[in-house]
A and B are shown apart, each in its own frame.
Chain A
């Protein structure tokens, strides 16, 4: 069974950088794309971007100027950095596995439980 666990500070100050980590267990990160998705309180889901196990990334254009993703396959984890945060970045952040092959292609099959990141001084 694949499990994903987000970790990171619960509170970040405005204009600073939000850094989150996702540890994957039960399956190697190799061979898959891994996404970050966020959900502001009481609102819908927004895809932030993804990273392939090779390190290749694709970001949502609306966030691309502030986002950096990285992956360490030896440690089976991947990370998100979001720069220059504001209150609008307050959200639950999920790390998620993509299905980039087979019949499930283009969907998400395993999700972390999510971590709330609050931007506040």
Chain B
């Protein structure tokens, strides 16, 4: 079974900082099929990145996806208070058609 492990599980940073969120796959995956989502309390997840590096429509260039193979990263630069959320990575194409990481909770204080 394909497993996505996100780290850190929680992160607390200040406005203006840069956040680096990691998503590691248990086996090599195609970057084409790696996506990132942002979820705020009481809301549905919002698409951020698809194909590992491509921003979804309307997403700020402060959000950057990178990586390949088993290691993928979401970098959020110039943090703003509104970036406080849980971030999930997601993969298509494993033994379970879609799988998610367990999430990283980002707090901006």
* Chain A contact residues, CB within 8 Å of chain B: 35, 37, 44-47, 50, 58, 60-62, 94, 99, 103-109, 111-114
Contacts and interface: CB of A to CB of B under 8 A. Distances in A.
Contact of A108 (B32, B35, B99, B102): B35
Interface stretch (B11-19, B20-28, B47-55, B74-82): B47-55
A107 B35 contact: yes
Nearest to B33: A106
Interface of B: 32-33, 35, 37, 43-47, 50-51, 54, 56, 88, 90-93, 95-103
Nearest first, the 10 closest Cβ-Cβ pairs linking A and B are: A106-B92, A106-B33, A107-B35, A111-B44, A47-B98, A107-B50, A45-B100, A104-B50, A44-B102, A44-B103
Contacts, number: 70
A99 B103 CA distance: 22
A78 B101 CA distance: 26
Contacts of B103: 44-45
